[in-house]
Amino acid sequence: MIEQLKISIDESRKLARGLSPVALGEYGLINAVNELTDLYSSMYNIDCEVYSECEAYHITNNVATQVFRIIQEAMNNSVKHSGGKNLNIVFSVNSDSSHKVEIIDNGKGFKTGAVENPGMGLSILKFRGQLIDSIVEIKSTIGSGTTITCKFR
Ligand SMILES: Nc1ncnc2c1ncn2[C@@H]1O[C@H](COP(=O)(O)OP(=O)(O)OP(=O)(O)O)[C@@H](O)[C@H]1O
Ligand SMILES: [Mg+2]
């Protein structure tokens, strides 16, 4: 138990410092997200899964890194705020062959336009989207959960 905790802390430190292997070739993004979901499943006692139509991504390191950080913030928000027990990361390919990732929780949801939400995370998430010409959508329904969608190429 303590050993597992040490490993988890070590891994989250690496991720927080930006040392996660996002920038390692075409499988980097999906591998990094798989590591993150394994970590969150064990650390937070939630069911956290990745579903993917595509494993190999021909994207730049910059796009991979920004998309990874967007996913990470959406996942952090979900464990911090949503209270949901299911957190799914779903990758798919659009008809124009660009990619889409959705981060979906089944938590309590929130009012997306409300001023009482003072954090920086969602603003940074949108800004990261702009940096890579991505469209990031935040949809949330009180009582049924939140979905963040990011399209990228
Ligand atoms: N998945 C979610 N489920 C429920 N509420 C959410 C979710 N994501 C965000 N929120 C709400 O939106 C607010 C703003 O989120 P944001 O990420 O910008 O800030 P934060 O997480 O509170 O702080 P920070 O990201 O700066 O550490 C949160 O405080 C929370 O009330
Ligand atoms: Mg946040």
Give residue-wise pLDDT tens across range 36-83: 999 999 999 999 999 999 889 999 988 999 999 999 999 999 999 999
- Say whether 84 sits in a helix, a strand or coil: coil
Report pLDDT for 119.
Answer: 87
Mean residue pLDDT across the chain = 89
Could you read off the pLDDT of 78-135 as tens digits, one per residue? 999 999 999 999 999 999 989 999 999 999 999 998 766 678 999 999 999 999 999 8
Residues 119 and 68 sit within 8 Å (Cβ to Cβ): no
108 touches ligand 1 (CB under 6 Å): yes
120 touches ligand 1 (CB under 6 Å): yes
Q: What domains does the chain contain, in order, with CATH numbers?
A: 2-152 (3.30.565.10)
Kindly tell me if the per-residue pLDDT of 14 is higher than 90: no
DSSP 14-77: HHHTT-SGGGSSTTHHHHHHHHHHHHHHHHH--EEEEEES-S-----HHHHHHHHHHHHHHHHH
For a mutational test of ligand 1's pocket, the pick from 77, 89, 125, i.e. the residue with the most ligand atoms closer than 8 A to its C-beta, is 77
